[in-house]
Amino acid sequence: MNLAELAGACIMTGFCGATLDDPQCRADVQLLKDLHIKGVILFDTHLPTGGMRNIVSEDQVRQLTENLRNELGDDLIIGIDQEGGQVNRLSLFQDNAVSEQLSAKMQGAMSQHQLSATIEPVAKALSDAGINLNFAPCVDLAINPDNPIIAGKGRSMGRDPDRVVKAAMTIVQTYHDHGVGCCIKHYPGHGSTTVDTHLGLADMTQTHTHDETEVFSTLIQAMHSQTMPIAAIMSGHLIDKRIDPDHPASLSHAHINTTLRSKHNFDGLIFTDSLDMNAIESQWNAGEASKLAILSGADIAVHGFNAHDQTDHPATQMHRALHKMLEHMDPDVAGKLKATNLRRRQSMFQ
């Protein structure tokens, strides 16, 4: 893996179109291929226009993911946000248990047996469709009932950290049993905040609680003890000025390397939340944000390319910034980055 390939391995992006027969889809995928990108994220809706994006039917998604791997490699990570409830990308699938997957709020109230039975058809549908990473479960605690993007949308499995941990372990195990990896989110906890990070940076300096981070710490311990399969973690665009006065967790060395990596001993894959959210775009461009994210200790900078109309695909700017960063990095440090990125990928996607 050369430096250009390593830069590509540190990026996951969205793209337009549901089939490579679509000229725009073909052009986007060719760009990702040229840049050695090894991660893509699928959406059902193209948010700028409200039209269709990547998901039309089971057969179409299966063909699309097969074609993506033919073009971008068998080691491609194909991700999706499939939490259930209001965050449901599979609403056009035929099985009602999939297309009408219950919300995280309802999942958190279930017994472990009921929860596994609820997740299983969704896990099977993702696996059959060729999707190998789900950005779920959301383990943010319902601390602030007026939180507009977590509790307000039924995306929290509850306020009790023990109950949320048990539910998360069941969900991760069920997806794992069907060959789908999970990414728990949003570190270090989005549930106490008052701001939707799609709209702006969420300051949790005065609201964040110990329980929010303890959920992640407990799940990491479960991975270490092998009582739960290895899962990735998504870092949120959440700022705690007591830890880092200038950067949200997604771009913060203090949050990711010092705290999540060293203090909580997490050695798995870390993805950023999407860098096209206004919390980031209002202050950093895609290249700058990607560089900060990787230097913070994250493995993969995510850009959904789906927040607003853009003429230039962000992968170009992201790759240029990361490639330049790697070229100026000490060769031993770059070599370690390459080795850890590959090892962490293999630990989840063997």
Beta-strand relationship, 51-52 and 45-46 = antiparallel
The reported pLDDT for the residue numbered 197 is: 83
Percentage, residues of the chain above pLDDT 70 = 100
Instruction: Look at phi and psi of residue 17 and say left if phi exceeds 0, alpha if psi is from -120 to 50, else beta.
Output: left
State yes or no: pLDDT of 105 exceeds 90.
Answer: yes
Give the per-residue pLDDT at 327: 96
What is the model's pLDDT at position 4? 97
By the 8 A CB rule, do 143 and 159 touch? yes
Compute the half-sphere exposure of residue 57: CA atoms within 13 Å on the CB side of its CA.
3
- The residue among 11, 6, 1, 9 whose CA lies nearest residue 293 is 11
pLDDT of residue 312: 87
Q: Return the pLDDT at 350.
A: 74
Residue 36: CATH number of its domain: 3.20.20.300
Q: Is 141 helix (H, G, I), strand (E, B) or coil?
A: coil
User: How many percent of the chain have pLDDT more than 90?
Assistant: 92
Task: Domain of residue 277: give its range.
Answer: 3-348
Q: How many CB atoms lie within 10 A of CB 95?
A: 14
Q: What is the pLDDT of residue 195?
A: 82
Segment 193-207 shows an average pLDDT of 88
> Is residue 253 pLDDT above 90, yes or no?
yes
Contact between 130 and 61 (Cβ < 8 Å): yes
At 70, the pLDDT band (50, 70, 90 cuts) reads very high
Q: What are phi and psi of 21, to 5 degrees?
A: -70, -20
Report the mean per-residue pLDDT for the chain: 95
pLDDT tens digits for range 267-297: 999 999 999 999 999 999 999 999 999 999 9
pLDDT at 157 over 80: yes
The one-letter code for the residue type at 206 is Q
Q: Which two tokens stand for residue 319?
A: 């790759």
Please state the φ and ψ torsions of residue 45, each to the nearest 5 degrees: -120, 135
pLDDT tens figures, 301-326:
999 999 877 778 999 999 999 999 99
- What pLDDT shows up at residue 309? 72
Q: What would the pLDDT profile of 6-53 be if each residue is shown by its tens digit?
A: 999 999 999 999 999 999 999 999 999 999 999 999 999 988 888 899
Q: What is the pLDDT of residues 138-155, one digit of tens each?
A: 999 999 999 999 999 999
Q: Which of 45-49, 191-195, 225-229 has the highest mean pLDDT?
A: 225-229
Q: To 10 degrees, the CA torsion angle through 253, 286, 240, 139?
A: -90
Question: Structural domain tally of the chain?
Answer: 1
* Beta strands in the chain, from DSSP E residues, in sequence order: 11-13, 39-42, 45-46, 51-52, 77-80, 133-134, 181-187, 202-203, 232-235, 238-239, 270-272, 301-303
Burial 62-81 (b: 16+ CB within 10 A, else e): ebbbebbeeebeeebbbbbb
The pLDDT score that the predictor gives to residue 216 is: 98
**DSSP 8-state assignment for residue 191:** T
